[in-house]
Amino acid sequence: MIEDKLLEIKDLTVSIKQEKEMMPVVKGIDITIPRRTVVGLVGESGCGKSMTAKSINHILPSFAKVTGGSMMWHESSGKVCDIAALKEKEIRKRCGTDIAMIFQEPMTSLNPMMCIGDQIKEVLMIHKLEKNAEKAKARVVEMLDSVGIPEPAMRYRAYPHELSGGMRQRVMIAMAMIGSPKLLIADEPTTALDVTTEAQILKLIRKMCEDYTMSALMITHNMGVVSSLCDYVYVMYLGTIMEQAPTAELFRNPLHPYTRGLLSSIPKMGNNPEFLETIPGNIPVDKKKFKGCEFCLRCSDDIKKCFFEQAPLYKVSENHYVRCHVTGTGAASYTDEVENPDREYATAGKEG
């Protein structure tokens, strides 16, 4: 998994300004994206996935900032650069060429006042990838055709409102791919699309990754998307990586209670259609009340230690890691406590 690195994120912390202090929302995470690999970052809405993605190409909102860690970019020549430390001018040179992003909602990401062809051509002209306007237009038409847009020459002059949701998403993919990036970040690219269009878009993203020998970071809360597209998966909860593993291994042997909860909530053929599994409890509003695992108040496997000590990432097999005191070290030694978890331990500041 780690052999041929493209991007190596180490101890990344992103904080937002809340009243008079900075509150971390992404908490010291490590993510490695190898070359020619699709990596998934999965978790509930609000867990910090998009903040992580936006920190890579420096487009965090004004109230958020990277407050720790590094993002080491590995060139094919062997040169390594920390893109977290780059100035705005330097990162803008990389956005669109080295790194490209497909945003969540194409209707709000595309300029309604410009035809789609000119918006895509802008990437070529800004980065000086094509100096001749007519040649740039020809490349755009070719790219529109490659992402499956019918009559691309005619569609070049279309405006976003004239296209369906699926077509607009294909335009976003064309815009991301026109600069031949090495890393594609896809932030919930199939949100609000019907299942048929979703399948087409996922297949297209995978094809583009293969055709352009490109890596991708897929941001999603949909485990079905993960299973069909990703090679390796990071599971995030409240800004912390809870489990990471190759996709097949994660689905075959999910170890963290949160991962199991996400997988069990997927509707399955043959199950009672009136009953869906859910993760009990709510996301804690104030994490300051306890020091331990962010998930312990919603967990059925919690033990006393969970409330006072955040678990490290335990290695349980090759490339499979889990942040859990119980499953990370073997549940047998905790059997008595697991069956009778004492939730009074969650009181603020008390130990024992």
Digit-coded pLDDT (tens) for 4-20: 899 999 999 999 988 77
> Read out DSSP for 11-75?
EEEEEEEETTEEEEEEEEEEEEEETT-EEEEE--TTSSHHHHHHHHTT---TTEEEEEEEEEEE-
Task: Give the residue carrying structure tokens 């755009």.
Answer: 140
Could you tell me the CA-to-CA distances from 150 to 147, 196, 206 in Å, in that order? 9, 17, 20
Q: Which CATH architecture has domain 5-238?
A: 3-Layer(aba) Sandwich (3.40)
Torsion of CA 17, 86, 186, 47, to 10 degrees: -30
Locate 26 and state its tokens: 């992404």
Sequence-ordered alpha helix ranges (H) in the chain: 49-56, 88-94, 106-109, 116-126, 133-146, 152-155, 165-177, 195-211, 223-229, 247-252, 257-264, 335-339
Locate 183 and state its tokens: 């890393």
| The pLDDT value given to residue 255 | 93
pTM of the predicted model as reported, rounded to 2 decimal places: 0.87
| The pLDDT value given to residue 166 | 87
Residue ranges in the chain modelled with pLDDT below 70:
1-3, 269-274, 285-290, 330-352
| The pLDDT value given to residue 152 | 95
Q: What is the strand order of the sheet 232-237 is part of? A: 99-102, 183-187, 215-220, 38-42, 232-237, 240-246, 320-322, 314-317
Where along the chain do the CATH 3.40.50.300 domains lie? 5-238
| The pLDDT value given to residue 345 | 41
Find, among 178, 202, 200, the residue nearest to 189 by Cα.
Answer: 202
| The pLDDT value given to residue 272 | 65
| The pLDDT value given to residue 332 | 34
| The amino acid at 95 | C
**Dihedrals phi, psi of 320, to nearest 5 degrees:** -120, 120
